[in-house]
């Protein structure tokens, strides 16, 4: 099952090509050391979307920390109504259910908390840097290796539940032509196959750590410095694709509310994640 550890940062998470790296709730429960994340684990061969299933479980009364994992998604969803390529066994398709007692206006920052967790987990498991493209794409060598979709059900002043959906490209040996210039996988970056259960457990451990810091202030005050240290856009020229008025400037990090600070020739502007997307002036990053 496992190969040798190659560096102090790397976890013992290699799989051999013969190993099918199957996921099961038993396997995930067997290695679980988290306090609350993964308190209930549901693992399916196929789902339309792990986010949709997690929302359904939330409505049935399952607690915060419930984890949904699938080997394959028939209708995996990305941000802005896009699809998420979900090839059987190749990736991690997981959703964590949260029931935070916070102001609903603060919930969108959880997606940046999740980005920190995935970035940390990938670096710990592979020994390679995994940067964050604001707000929540995880990138290696300028290409996207993970996407995060956070969805919420709330009243005006009360959150029913939040689902944090995470898709990580793990074993993929290639991507459809239309996305191959901007998509990558852990295998393509490292030449190694990593065990998905160990990666999932590491994401949960890292999420618990950062979530605790987030809850202290209900914003990213305690995480800004660390987030900015992983931000691939930091001090880079970016194009802000605002549907009303696109503009360019230099990204200068995030605010405690998770907005991207962009300095233009005229002024400093704060960009909110829900409204726009950001590209490098010359490409995806």
Which residues make up the interface to ligand BTN (CB under 6 A)?
Answer: 49-51, 73, 76-79, 82, 84, 93-95, 137, 147-149, 165-167
Residues 40 and 68: beta-carbon distance below 8 Å: no
φ, ψ at 44 (rounded to 5°):
-120, 150
Least Å from the CB of residue 109 to ligand BTN: 16
- N-to-C CA span, the chain: 35
What Rg do the C-alpha atoms of the chain give, in angstroms? 18
Q: Which is nearer to ligand BTN, 11 or 144 (CB)?
A: 144
* Nearest CB to ligand BTN, comparing residues 48 and 218: 48
In whole angstroms, the minimum distance from the beta carbon of 122 to ligand BTN comes to: 15
Task: Output 10 or 271, the one with its CB closest to ligand BTN.
Answer: 271
Nearer to ligand BTN, 41 or 249 (CB): 41
CB of 115 to ligand BTN, least distance (A): 10
Shortest gap between Cβ of 125 and ligand BTN (angstroms)? 18
Contact between residue 71 and residue 89 where contact means Cβ atoms under 8 Å apart: yes
CA distance 199 to 141: 20
Chain position carrying tokens 């592979």: 126
CA 229 to chain centre: 17
């Amino acid at each position: 099952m496992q190969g040798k550890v190659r560096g102090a940062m790397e976890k013992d998470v290699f799989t051999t090509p013969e190993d099918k790296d199957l996921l099961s709730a038993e396997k995930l429960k067997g290695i679980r050391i988290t306090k609350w994340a993964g308190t209930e684990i549901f693992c399916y061969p196929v789902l339309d979307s792990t986010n949709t299933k997690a929302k359904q479980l939330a409505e049935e009364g399952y607690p915060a920390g419930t984890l949904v994992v699938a080997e394959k998604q028939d209708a995996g969803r990305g941000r802005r109504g896009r699809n998420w390529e979900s090839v059987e066994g190749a990736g991690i398709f997981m959703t964590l259910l949260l029931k935070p007692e916070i102001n609903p206006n603060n919930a969108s920052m959880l997606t940046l908390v999740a980005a920190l967790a995935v970035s940390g987990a990938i670096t710990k498991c592979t020994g390679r840097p995994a940067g964050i493209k604001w707000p929540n794409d995880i990138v290696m060598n300028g290409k996207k290796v993970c996407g995060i979709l956070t969805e919420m059900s709330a009243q005006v002043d009360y959150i029913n539940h939040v689902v944090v959906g995470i898709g990580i490209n793990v074993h993929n040996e290639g991507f459809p032509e239309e996305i191959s210039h901007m998509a990558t996988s852990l295998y393509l970056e490292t030449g190694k196959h990593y065990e998905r259960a160990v990666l999932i457990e590491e994401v949960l451990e890292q999420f618990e750590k950062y979530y605790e810091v987030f809850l202290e202030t209900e914003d990213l005050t305690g995480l800004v410095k660390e987030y900015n240290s992983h931000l691939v856009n930091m001090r880079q020229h970016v194009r802000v694709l605002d549907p009303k008025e696109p503009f360019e400037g230099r990204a200068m990090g995030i605010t405690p509310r998770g907005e991207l600070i962009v300095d233009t020739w005229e002024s400093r502007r704060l960009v909110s994640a829900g409204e726009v997307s950001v590209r490098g002036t010359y490409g995806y990053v």
